[in-house]
A and B are shown apart, each in its own frame.
Chain A
Amino acid sequence: AQSVAQPEDQVNVAEGNPLTVKCTYSVSGNPYLFWYVQYPNRGLQFLLKYITGDNLVKGSYGFEAEFNKSQTSFHLKKPSALVSDSALYFCAVVDYKLSFGAGTTVTVRA
């Protein structure tokens, strides 16, 4: 069975500081991994994905994620967080369907 885990319900950082949102995965084959963001009362928006190739993937709004096969992780990162990055972030994995983690609420304080 495929799954992703987001070990932190909430992440709080100050504006300008680095932001990391953690994700670990469990799949039987090669993982297709994704990050989505959800702003209040809005649908999910695609941020980035890892299919194959470079372990460091760059996405929208200055976000990037690092695929680490040995640690089965796909952490989302942003070097300098903005207040507008405050949202709910979901990691997801595709095997035969797209399955989401429980989400991490990110709060960036001014």
Chain B
Amino acid sequence: EAGVVQSPRYKIIEKKQPVAFWCNPISGHNTLYWYLQNLGQGPELLIRYENEEAVDDSQLPKDRFSAERLKGVDSTLKIQPAELGDSAVYLCASSGTGRSGGELFFGEGSRLTVL
């Protein structure tokens, strides 16, 4: 069974440029998450989708971040424009239970470096 797939694994951009990350969850998983992980810290939830609906986006900085999951399968997270402080690892995860039974399956992450 294929796991959560993320791309790109690494991205280096200059500040003020846009960037996008893509995630394909495990087949059949209705719940999809985007987490932000700074170096040496635990992941922090950015947004959670139940199918195509964003049910928790309270921590998403909406002035520059956006996300979509149009068909309830794969998802894209965008940053425009990127700032130096956005340098981090962006993790995507999926789970098969709506309330988040907690057993999330994570992708390997997309490491962003903003210069």
Residues of A within 8 A of B (CB): 32, 34, 36, 41-46, 49, 51, 90, 92, 94, 96-103
Complex contacts, A41 vs chain B, CB 8 Å: 108
Residues of A within 8 A of B42 (CB): 90, 92, 100-103
Kindly identify which residue among B45, B105, B108, B109 contacts A97, using a CB–CB cutoff of 8 Å.
B45
Closest Cβ of chain B to A73, distance in Å, is: 18
Interface residues of B in 57-102 (CB under 8 A from A): 91, 93, 100-102
Instruction: Give the complex CA separation of A1 and B91 in angstroms.
Output: 23
Residues from chain B with a CB closer than 8 A to the CB of A90 are 42-43
- Could you mark each residue 10-50 of chain B with 1 if its beta carbon is under 8 Å from any beta carbon of chain A, else 0? 00000000000000000000000100000011111100100
Beta-carbon contact of A97 and B107 below 8 Å: no
Q: Please list 26 pairs of residues, one from A and one from B, whose beta carbons are closer than 8 Å in the complex, sorted by A's number.
A: A32-B102, A41-B108, A42-B108, A43-B4, A43-B107, A43-B109, A44-B93, A44-B106, A46-B105, A49-B102, A49-B103, A51-B101, A51-B102, A92-B42, A94-B101, A97-B45, A98-B33, A98-B45, A98-B100, A100-B44, A101-B42, A102-B40, A102-B41, A102-B42, A103-B40, A103-B42
